[in-house]
């Protein structure tokens, strides 16, 4: 499974999930011009996309959706609540339900409920030929039901939005700080690390820190925090950026050679 994270952060989010010729765009929070540019950078183009799925209606996840659909009519799926909030985009079909899997080409997609101040937000678990990858951002907490859905994933693309101290002492108004740190806001580095501690297993290959705040986080802080519970393992830790694409693949280690042990003989975890 190949994932091209075109942009990740409060300024815009867009990711392409690709398996055996099926390509699904997750969110379109960047302009069509930027979408086309970043797709070219990873060897893709808009015409190769089969569908768009939307996690929720906030602007950094749907900013470029209307223009994209005017130029390139594509099927668009979202939850009923998200579709209702996007009435100005009538092409959005509100048929997704958390906990009910759907299939687009060779890709199975399981929407999973997140905890965020939107109408009916979801993350996603993608499955193909025994490989499972979760993409979960914009959640203020990892609930027990969400953790159950994320168990046994080979890849975790998980929000690490803010460093708690940078947020606490930073320039944001107090009301906004409270919203971000609330149970319907965004995961901190520490919360993401705790989730990884809970979810790590022998089949885990990749962790990507997603949706970093430009003002309240730093890539080095997020990377160090998320790598802590994986010390001594062969799990690769990467940081998604707002300004350039990141391409990762999951499932290569499972093809024909079995699962890698979480704690390898080399005693190291790679940090990108």
Q: Is the pLDDT of residue 125 over 80?
A: yes
Residue 74 lies in a domain: yes
Q: Tell me, yes or no, whether 271 lies in a domain.
A: no
Identify whether 45 is part of a domain.
Answer: yes
On whether residue 266 sits in a domain, the answer given is no
Nearest residue to 52 (alpha-carbon basis) of 7, 16, 3, 19 = 16
For residue range 69-115, list pLDDT tens digits in order: 999 999 999 999 999 999 989 899 999 999 999 999 999 999 999 99
Does residue 263 belong to any structural domain of this protein?
no
Q: Is residue 232 part of a domain?
A: yes
- Going by pLDDT thresholds of 50, 70 and 90, the confidence category of residue 63 is very high
Number of domains in the chain: 1
Averaged pLDDT, 35-40:
98
User: What is the domain range of residue 140?
Assistant: 2-250
Mean predicted confidence (pLDDT) in 41-64 = 98
CATH number at residue 77: 3.60.15.10
260 lies in some domain: no
Whether the per-residue pLDDT at 164 is higher than 50: the answer is yes
What is the model's pLDDT at position 253?
57
Does residue 269 lie in a domain region? Answer: no
User: Which residues, in sequence order, are CB contacts of 124 under 8 Å at separation 6+?
Assistant: 26, 53, 55, 109, 110, 111, 112, 134, 135, 136
- Residue 217: count other Cβ atoms within 10 Å of its Cβ: 26
């Amino acid at each position: 499974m190949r994932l091209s994270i075109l942009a990740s952060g409060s300024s815009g989010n867009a990711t392409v999930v690709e398996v055996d010729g099926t390509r699904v765009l997750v969110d379109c929070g960047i302009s069509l011009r930027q979408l086309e540019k970043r797709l070219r950078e990873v060897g893709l183009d808009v015409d190769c996309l089969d569908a768009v799925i939307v996690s929720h209606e906030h602007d950094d996840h749907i900013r470029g959706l209307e223009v994209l659909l005017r130029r390139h009519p594509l099927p668009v799926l979202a939850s009923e609540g998200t579709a209702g909030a996007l009435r100005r985009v009538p092409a959005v079909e509100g048929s997704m339900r958390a906990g009910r899997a759907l299939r687009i080409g060779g890709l199975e997609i399981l929407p999973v409920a997140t905890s965020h101040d939107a109408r009916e937000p979801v993350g996603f678990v993608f499955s193909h030929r025994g490989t499972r990858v979760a993409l979960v951002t914009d959640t203020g907490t990892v609930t027990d039901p969400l953790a159950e859905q994320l168990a046994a994933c080979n890849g975790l693309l998980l929000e690490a939005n803010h460093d708690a101290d940078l947020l606490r002492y930073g320039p944001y108004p107090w009301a906004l700080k409270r919203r971000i740190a609330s149970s319907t806001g965004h995961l901190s580095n520490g919360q993401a690390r705790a989730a990884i501690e809970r979810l790590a297993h022998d089949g885990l290959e990749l962790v990507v820190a997603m949706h970093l705040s430009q003002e309240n986080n730093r890539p080095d802080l997020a990377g160090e925090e998320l790598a802590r519970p994986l010390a001594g393992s062969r799990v690769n830790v990467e940081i998604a950026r707002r300004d350039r694409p990141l391409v990762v693949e999951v499932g290569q280690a499972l093809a024909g050679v079995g699962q890698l042990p979480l704690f390898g003989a080399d005693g190291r975890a790679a940090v990108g």
